[in-house]
Structure 1
Amino acid sequence: MSATKLISTTPGNYSLLLNAGTTAVDELVEQLGHEPNGYFWEGVARRLVADGAAELEGRFAYDPEAGMFCAYGTDRAALEALGKLLDAIAADGDEMRALITAADAEGFDFDD
């Protein structure tokens, strides 16, 4: 099951949504000292883009809230690619643990 949902907000404009607190890795995230809220998921998205999907950099904007992650823009393909990255890590505890561990070691602030 997909953790993210891509919607068309107006013709040519899209939002990628993830309801915080609804993923398979939420308990793990909390065990690792983070709050799995929308701001945390923005940090995850930024790390995923920086660490392995640099071609997505600058192709959408972020607008998270406490209960929801949101990325938006006009580039549907970029948002779909981000959705695939987030869906994969939201379902894989080992990958999430590795991402958080590496980010924490570097002093990355998830802003959660």
Structure 2
Amino acid sequence: MHPTLLKQLNLWHNRNKYKEIISTILELPEEGRDYELVCHLGRALNNEDRYNEAIAYFLSVQDEGAADPLWHYRLGYAYYYSGKYEAAVAAFEHALELEPDDQDSQMLLNWSRNAVNKEALGSDSADQIRGEKREVNDEELAPFKLVSHDNGSLSLILSVGSYKSHIFEARADEGFEGNGYDWASLAAVFLDEKMPELVSIINFDPEAGMFAAYTSNQEAMVSFAAAFKEACENDALIGDLFSRAELD
């Protein structure tokens, strides 16, 4: 691939301009699209929720992608979000065979296996199964707030104060104040026990007056944000989790 074109494609990707990537690559003659270009195209189609098209393009370079863990990951991503969960399981398993430490592939493999199991039980709709990618609005998350950053990462923030202050007051004699660090300790227990697949993906960067979690995996953050807020609204659950939080 021409280095100038590659630089432009990466720039568009970082700025979430996926339509520009797709149109530019599709304007090229088919014989001029090498493996790397097709993978850029497939990734952009994934980001535009055009999963079946992405699958077709990824499979068109299947032989070249066989030894590339990123190809398997992107194909699995397209399978997962198009509801082809068994195919997604196979793709993520191949990705992990090639790159065993890839946390994103492991997380999505877990989600895919759960989706297969839920389909077998027939107990959840497709929307419920794919809840990790659900959209949440500001009102639903308040007083937490999701903040997008120019680098593509996503943060969940909370200006600490009166929200759930009684939870922290229960252990005030131990030094808990309900500050940002205490919220991070609580969130860490929540992740460990309720969403262990996200432990290595969600990061914390609190300050005294603010709780902050961040990650470059937007689907993981939305999933965490919705689940953590729901847990916070259950005083019995969040109180039990906080009983195991450690003072920072």
In the superposition, the TM-score normalised over structure 2's length comes to 0.39
Shift of 1:58: 1.2
Question: Which runs of 5 or more structure 2 residues have no equivalent in the other structure?
Answer: 1-138
1:90 to 232, 242, 247: 232
Moved segments of 4+, more than 4 Å = none
Distance 2:179 2:228 in 1: 14
- Look up the SS of the partner of 1:88 in the other structure: helix
Query: Is 76-85 or 28-37 further displaced after alignment?
Result: 28-37
Shift of 1:88: 1.8
Distance 2:227 2:247 in 1: 17
Structure-2 change in CA distance of 1:9 and 1:79 (3 Å)? same
Matched to 1:13, the amino acid is: S
Distance 1:40 1:84 in 2: 20
Q: Larger % of strand: which? A: 1
Q: What is residue 182 of structure 2 aligned with on the other side? A: 40
Aligned-pair identity in percent equals: 28
**Contact 1:5–1:17 (8 Å) recurs in 2:** yes
Matched to 2:208, the amino acid is: A
RMSD between aligned residues:
1.7
Distance 1:30 1:76 in 2: 33
Q: What is residue 49 of structure 1 aligned with on the other side? A: 191
Q: What is residue 110 of structure 1 aligned with on the other side? A: 247
- Look up the SS of the partner of 1:71 in the other structure: strand
Matched to 2:144, the amino acid is: T
Give 1 or 2 for the bigger CA radius of gyration.
2
**Contact 2:167–2:239 (8 Å) recurs in 1:** yes
Structure-2 change in CA distance of 1:29 and 1:89 (3 Å)? farther
Question: Which runs of 5 or more structure 1 residues have no equivalent in the other structure?
Answer: none
Count of matched residue pairs = 105
Matched to 2:246, the amino acid is: D
Per-residue Cα deviation, 1:35-58 (whole angstroms, up to 9, x for no partner): 111101111111111112111121
Higher RCO (Cα < 8 Å, 6 or more apart):
1
Matching of residue 9 in structure 1 with residue 146 in structure 2: no
Per-residue Cα deviation, 1:49-101 (whole angstroms, up to 9, x for no partner): 11121111211321000111111121111111221232123222211221123
Q: Larger % of helix: which? A: 2
